Amino acid sequence: MDPIVERRVGELTIRIDRTLCVGFGDCMAVAPDVFEFDEDGICAFRADPGSPETERLIEACDVCPVDALVAIDAAGVQVAPRRGR
């Protein structure tokens, strides 16, 4: 699997950096319909993430303690992780 995986989810593009993820699972606690662990214990996208609320998806990316998740809006602006949190 590629070290960086990207997918459009709702209004956002979400990027998972598999080299940074250490499997805390904080993102899954916030958005269990979007994220799951793969066979290596690393964050992965669920097959069908549905249409989660944008703010909840941003929060799921923002809570990652190692910044393995990035959320980018339609204008190409990074909205999570938020700087200075």
The pair of three-digit structure tokens given for residue 16, joined into one six-digit string: 């998972």
The token pair that represents 21 in the structure block = 């993820």
Q: What is the pLDDT of residue 50?
A: 86
Residue-wise pLDDT tens for the chain (85 aa)? 799 999 999 999 999 999 999 999 999 999 999 999 999 999 999 999 988 999 999 999 999 999 999 999 999 999 999 875 5
Count of CA atoms in the C-beta half-sphere (13 A) of 4: 6
Contact criterion met (CB below 8 Å) for 3 and 16: no
The per-residue pLDDT for 84 is 57
Q: What confidence score (pLDDT) does residue 54 get?
A: 96
Q: Are 61 and 81 in contact (CB under 8 A)?
A: yes
For the chain, list the domains and their CATH numbers. Answer: 4-80 (3.30.70.20)
